[in-house]
């Protein structure tokens, strides 16, 4: 297994000799305004450029889109990806969205599991911020709330848990208990909406994951890119040094981790 951090939640997972592109957000630096509903709306995003060419990034076997928020999917990805490429999504709504863009091979992931290339992919639940607080905010700006995580299982690889855009919540804890993943990717920049409510994991959430999976390797993704972040890679490196967290990895953009 290889995991390459591209930028934000965009990563490439080479699992059982199959390359998955996750949440392709491929626009150039600062092409978007900051999110009006988030903190730091005056900061344009992405804050950094891609580490590789788009052509290199989209040279994959399949794509997984955990949700269709604009920092996880954009027109640059729509235009760069082959319309016949295998696309996995979380729901009928997202499937219709992708098919309306011209993609011809879209499949919904399920909690029961989907087979692909000798790999079992399981949809896992998430809370993209506390549901009772954040869902109404998303709906007020015409943005869907739901996101998903994904479990990767194969006889030839360690079990991988891509938690996706979520806070620490009972659903994440239950997923760790159920699948005992040896490797967990968490989105950990502590992005927050304007009222201070977090949308994805911050340092406290990350510490809960580490407690729940002390023998797993934890990888921090979704760092240093969106306008509404409140946690940086430097913050996590300080935490790692202070707490001597040998199982916490904080890859830079363009870095590949080998397992």
Q: How far apart are CA 178 and CA 31, in angstroms?
A: 41
Q: How far apart are CA 69 and CA 10, in angstroms?
A: 13
Six token digits for residue 136: 């109404």
> What 8-state DSSP symbol labels residue 45?
B
How far lies 40's CA from each of 12, 44, 195, 199, in Å?
28, 9, 12, 14
20 forms bridges with which residues in the sheet?
Answer: 13, 62
Q: How far apart are CA 135 and CA 147, in angstroms?
A: 11
Cα torsion at 154, 51, 57, 90 (round to 10°)? 60
**pLDDT at residue 140, rounded to an integer:** 86
**pLDDT at residue 143, rounded to an integer:** 84
In the chain, the domains with their CATH numbers are 2-252 (3.60.15.10)
**pLDDT at residue 27, rounded to an integer:** 98
Six token digits for residue 56: 């290199």
* pTM listed for this prediction: 0.98
DSSP characters over 204-252: HHHHHHHHH-TTSEEEEES-S-STT----HHHHHHHHHHHT-TTEE-PP
Per-residue model confidence as pLDDT tens for the chain (259 residues): 999 999 999 999 999 999 999 999 999 999 999 999 899 999 999 999 999 999 999 999 999 999 999 999 999 999 999 999 999 999 999 999 999 999 999 999 999 999 999 999 999 999 999 999 999 988 888 888 999 999 999 999 999 999 999 999 999 999 999 999 999 999 999 999 998 999 999 999 999 999 999 999 999 999 999 999 999 999 999 999 999 999 999 999 999 999 9
**pLDDT at residue 118, rounded to an integer:** 97
**pLDDT at residue 33, rounded to an integer:** 98
């Amino acid at each position: 297994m290889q995991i390459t951090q591209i930028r934000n939640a965009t990563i490439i997972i080479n699992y059982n000799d199959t390359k998955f592109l996750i949440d392709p957000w491929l626009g150039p630096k600062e092409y978007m305004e900051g999110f009006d509903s988030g903190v730091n709306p005056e900061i344009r995003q992405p804050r950094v450029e891609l580490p590789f060419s788009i052509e290199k990034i989209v040279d994959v076997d399949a794509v997984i889109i955990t949700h269709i928020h604009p920092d996880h999917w954009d027109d640059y990805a729509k235009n760069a990806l082959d319309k016949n490429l295998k696309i996995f999504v979380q729901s009928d709504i997202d499937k219709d969205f992708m098919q309306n863009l011209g993609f011809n091979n879209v499949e919904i992931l399920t909690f029961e599991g989907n087979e692909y290339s000798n790999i079992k992919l399981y949809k896992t639940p998430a809370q993209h911020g506390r549901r009772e607080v954040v869902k109404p905010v998303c709906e007020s700006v015409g943005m869907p709330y739901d996101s998903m995580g994904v479990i990767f299982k194969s006889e030839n690889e360690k079990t991988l848990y891509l938690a996706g855009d979520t806070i620490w919540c009972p659903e994440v804890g239950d997923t760790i208990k159920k699948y005992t993943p040896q490797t967990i990717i968490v989105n950990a920049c502590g992005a927050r909406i304007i009222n201070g409510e977090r949308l994805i994991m911050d340092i406290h959430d990350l510490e809960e994951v580490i407690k729940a999976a002390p023998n797993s390797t934890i990888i921090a993704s979704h760092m240093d890119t969106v306008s509404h972040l409140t946690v940086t890679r430097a913050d996590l490196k300080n935490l790692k040094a202070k707490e001597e967290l040998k199982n916490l990895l904080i890859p830079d953009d363009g870095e590949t981790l080998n397992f």
